[in-house]
Structure 1
Amino acid sequence: MNRPELLQAFEATWPPLARESLGPFTYRDEAGGGSRVSAATLDGALTDPALDEIEARFAKDGRDALFQIRSGEEDFDAALDVRGYQMFDPAACLMAPLGRFAPAQAKDGYVSWPPTAIQREIWAEGGIGSSRVEIMLRTRAPKCTLLGRLGDTPVGTGFVAIHDRIAVIHALEIALPARRKGLARRVMSIAADWARANGADSLALQVTRANTAALALYSALGMEEVGQYHYRTKILTGHP
């Protein structure tokens, strides 16, 4: 089961542009920011009229209906399946106490704020564009970026922010030529050091199950699965 405080930390450290309550749902809107900040979630009792209402809201806003379904929401998932929604991007929520991470070495990189041009380039090469960087910029939680190096060359970056003593890593990206050289592990240590220094006691992240290499790395670092989710969407016809 997803822990409520962890879900709150994910939202606080990677916030949507706009969110509002719509019956039992939370409706989010984020132009170009990805599924996580654009999906609606169920936070109350599901009814067919409530589902009709939020589908109508998506259509009114000219958007394809998109929902995130979390652990324990099997009935909601089944209701969307009956309505023709397709599932995609199953993901795991991972977490570990900071004591499981080895201290970072100064040569491996450092933390900084705001994002630099080279960090933006590394993100862009990995498909993390300006819309996601804007999310980092508006996050109100204590935050920093991570810059990982091989020798004197910056080749890795990420974003980390803290909510309620949980440090959450987002947008961890290693440049293609530098992958499989242990840099991601070392960047995680940089994040853990910063989190300890800023009052956190655990480190968390979300990763798609298709990213088997990342799942193996995080498991080797002692991170454990504490929740899961996936998305369902249905392309609506007749809207602009």
Structure 2
Amino acid sequence: MTRPITLPGSQKLAEVCEATWPPASRRALGAWTIRDGQGGGNRVSAATEAWPVTDADLPAAEQAMRALGQEPLFQIREGDDRLDQLLEAHGYRVRDPVNLWAKSTAELAAAPIPRATIYTMWPPLELVRDIWTAGGVGEGRQAVMERARCEKTALLARNGDHPAGAAFAGIHDGVAMVHALYVKPQERRQGIGGMLIRAAAKWAQGHGAETLGLIVTQGNHAANPLYADLGMTRVGHYHYRVHPDVPV
């Protein structure tokens, strides 16, 4: 019987995400933290509030992001209600509300995984990169994985003799996080996604992580039920707000 552990909350998972899925650079700009994502997606490009901001602080953040070639984009974390209201008043629209899920690695790893179905490796095989690229995890996001300075692995799932899916996992401060999980359309509804999560948990447990977390958009109606079926707990949420001139 596994001993109970306290699952990390949204603040801790945000810290783990920053370490395992890092921006190319980040800097303080007054009350803001500005990130240079270099095409790695919302998580590595969004600005966050370091302390309470006012309307007068907004133009500096917008200009800094545009200078990086990025759209003005802000991550709204739990507790950022005033920032959320400020941005809404300036016409900023909600983009990609997400759920944060977590569970102990011991519990996830307890279920057996069929032999010769999941492989872990770093650096990733070209086959893994091809799966990611087909799933929209392109060069910008793969560069995020390369620059992550943490214990990390790529995972390859096979279904018989077919490559079926891939994922990336990293560990920070005893917590593992899974990113870039993708299962080929023709291989779905066969348990591949669940096996990738359990294999990531087993790998993470072997490297000292007690908890595994992940982040998924609330609109992903395949992934959220999967994580619930795996017994994971929704421990938090956040969303983004994007400039009114930018498509949501």
The TM-score, its normalising length taken from structure 1, stands at 0.94
**1:231 aligns with one of 232, 240, 244:** 240
Given that 1:2 and 1:70 are in contact with CA atoms closer than 8 Å, whether structure 2 keeps it comes out as: no
Matched, 1:41 2:48: yes
**1:138 aligns with one of 147, 172, 175:** 147
User: What does the per-residue CA deviation read over 1:127-151, in whole Å, with 9 as the maximum and x for residues that have no partner?
Assistant: 1101111111111100000111101
Once the 2 structures are TM-superposed, how far is the Cα of residue 70 of structure 1 from its aligned partner?
1.0
Once the 2 structures are TM-superposed, how far is the Cα of residue 59 of structure 1 from its aligned partner?
3.6
Task: Give the Cα–Cα distance (whole angstroms) in 2 for the partners of residues 43 and 25 of structure 1.
Answer: 5
Once the 2 structures are TM-superposed, how far is the Cα of residue 2 of structure 1 from its aligned partner?
4.8
Query: Partner amino acid for 1:187?
Result: L
Matched, 1:89 2:96: yes
State the partner residue of 1:149: 158
148-157 or 58-67, larger mean C-alpha shift: 58-67
Given that 2:10 and 2:100 are in contact with CA atoms closer than 8 Å, whether structure 1 keeps it comes out as: no
Given that 1:91 and 1:228 are in contact with CA atoms closer than 8 Å, whether structure 2 keeps it comes out as: yes
Once the 2 structures are TM-superposed, how far is the Cα of residue 62 of structure 1 from its aligned partner?
4.2
Query: Partner amino acid for 1:68?
Result: Q
Matched, 1:67 2:74: yes
Task: Give the Cα–Cα distance (whole angstroms) in 2 for the partners of residues 197 and 112 of structure 1.
Answer: 14
- Runs of 5+ consecutive residues of structure 2 not aligned to the other structure: 1-7
Task: Give the Cα–Cα distance (whole angstroms) in 2 for the partners of residues 222 and 213 of structure 1.
Answer: 15
**1:216 aligns with one of 225, 242, 248:** 225
Task: Give the Cα–Cα distance (whole angstroms) in 1 for the partners of residues 58 and 98 of structure 2.
Answer: 24
Matched, 1:180 2:189: yes
Task: Give the Cα–Cα distance (whole angstroms) in 2 for the partners of residues 5 and 85 of structure 1.
Answer: 27
The TM-score, its normalising length taken from structure 2, stands at 0.91
State the partner residue of 2:5: none
State the partner residue of 1:17: 24
Residue aligned with 2:57, SS:
helix
Q: Describe how 1:155-174 pairs up with structure 2 within 5 A.
A: 155-174=164-183
Once the 2 structures are TM-superposed, how far is the Cα of residue 73 of structure 1 from its aligned partner?
1.3
Query: Partner amino acid for 1:175?
Result: K
Q: Describe how 1:111-130 pairs up with structure 2 within 5 A.
A: 111-130=120-139
User: What does the per-residue CA deviation read over 1:10-50, in whole Å, with 9 as the maximum and x for residues that have no partner?
Assistant: 10000001110111211001121111100001121222222
Count of aligned pairs between the two proteins: 237
Given that 2:156 and 2:166 are in contact with CA atoms closer than 8 Å, whether structure 1 keeps it comes out as: yes
Once the 2 structures are TM-superposed, how far is the Cα of residue 125 of structure 1 from its aligned partner?
1.1
Task: Give the Cα–Cα distance (whole angstroms) in 1 for the partners of residues 164 and 226 of structure 2.
Answer: 18
Indicate the percent of aligned positions where both proteins have the same amino acid. 41
Task: Give the Cα–Cα distance (whole angstroms) in 1 for the partners of residues 175 and 220 of structure 2.
Answer: 23
Residue aligned with 1:159, SS:
strand
Task: Give the Cα–Cα distance (whole angstroms) in 2 for the partners of residues 47 and 84 of structure 1.
Answer: 15
- Runs of 5+ consecutive residues of structure 1 not aligned to the other structure: none
Once the 2 structures are TM-superposed, how far is the Cα of residue 61 of structure 1 from its aligned partner?
3.7
Task: Give the Cα–Cα distance (whole angstroms) in 1 for the partners of residues 191 and 150 of structure 2.
Answer: 29
The alignment yields a C-alpha RMSD, in angstroms, of: 1.6
Task: Give the Cα–Cα distance (whole angstroms) in 1 for the partners of residues 15 and 107 of structure 2.
Answer: 23
State the partner residue of 2:115: 106
Task: Give the Cα–Cα distance (whole angstroms) in 2 for the partners of residues 59 and 135 of structure 1.
Answer: 20
